[in-house]
C-alpha cells in the first residue's frame, strides 16, 4: 500500500521540520559556546594558578617578571586558539543556517505546489513559487 499524505499535512510537516531543525542547530551552537566558555575558564584558572606559583617561588621582582612571562605567553596562546575556534564556529554556523534556509525554501516550494494542485487558475508557471536558481 502506497504511503500518500495530504498536501496540507505536507505543508505543516515542512514548517514543523524546519522549525525543529533550526532548534537543533541552535542547541548545537549553545553546546559549542558552553564548551568554549569552559575552556576560557580553564585558561583563566591556569593563568591565576601560574601567577600565584611564580609569586610564591620568586625571590625578587626580576625573577617574578621572568617567570610571569611564560604564564602570559601560555595565556595569550590559549586565547588566540580560542578566538580562532570561535571564528571557525561562527562561519560554520552561518553556513549551516544558510543551508537550512535553502532547504526549507525548497521544501516549502514543493509543499506549496502540492497545495496549489487542483486550485482553479494556478496551472501556469507564473502562479508557482520562485524556482531554484
Asked if the structure places residue 34 within a domain, the reply is yes
Asked if the structure places residue 23 within a domain, the reply is no
pLDDT, tens digit (0-9, with 9 covering 90-100), for 2-17: 455 677 787 788 778 8
Q: Output the pLDDT for position 1.
A: 43
| CA distances, 38 to each of 25, 61, 95, 108 (Å) | 20, 33, 25, 39
Asked if the structure places residue 46 within a domain, the reply is yes
Are residues 54 and 64 in contact, defined by beta-carbon separation less than 8 angstroms?
A: yes
Asked if the structure places residue 59 within a domain, the reply is yes
Containing structural domain, residue 38 = 28-105
Q: Is 80 helix (H, G, I), strand (E, B) or coil?
A: helix
**Average pLDDT of the segment spanning 65-75:** 93
| CA distances, 15 to each of 6, 72, 108, 131 (Å) | 15, 50, 7, 18
30, containing H or E segment: helix 7-57
Q: Output the pLDDT for position 3.
A: 58
Asked if the structure places residue 72 within a domain, the reply is yes
pLDDT, tens digit (0-9, with 9 covering 90-100), for 6-62: 777 877 887 788 888 888 888 988 999 999 999 999 999 999 999 999 999 999 999
Number of domains in the chain: 1
Distance CA 11, CA 21 (A): 15
Asked if the structure places residue 7 within a domain, the reply is no
pLDDT, tens digit (0-9, with 9 covering 90-100), for 82-133: 999 999 988 888 888 888 788 878 877 877 776 666 555 555 555 555 655 5
Q: Output the pLDDT for position 18.
A: 81
Is this prediction's pTM over 0.75? no
Sequence-separated contacts (24+) of 27-33 with Cβ below 8 Å: 29/89, 29/93, 32/89
Amino acid at each position: 500500500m502506497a504511503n500518500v499524505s495530504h498536501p496540507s499535512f505536507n505543508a505543516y510537516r515542512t514548517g514543523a521540520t524546519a522549525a525543529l531543525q533550526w532548534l537543533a542547530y541552535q542547541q548545537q551552537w549553545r553546546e559549542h559556546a558552553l564548551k568554549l566558555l569552559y575552556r576560557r575558564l580553564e585558561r583563566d584558572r591556569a593563568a591565576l594558578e601560574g601567577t600565584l606559583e611564580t609569586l610564591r617561588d620568586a625571590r625578587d621582582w626580576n625573577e617574578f617578571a621572568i617567570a610571569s612571562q611564560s604564564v602570559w605567553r601560555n595565556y595569550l596562546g590559549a586565547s588566540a586558539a580560542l578566538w580562532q575556534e570561535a571564528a571557525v564556529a561562527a562561519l560554520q554556523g552561518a553556513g549551516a543556517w544558510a543551508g537550512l534556509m535553502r532547504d526549507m525554501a525548497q521544501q516549502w516550494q514543493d509543499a506549496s505546489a502540492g497545495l496549489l494542485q487542483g486550485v482553479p487558475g494556478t496551472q501556469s508557471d507564473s502562479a508557482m513559487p520562485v524556482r531554484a536558481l
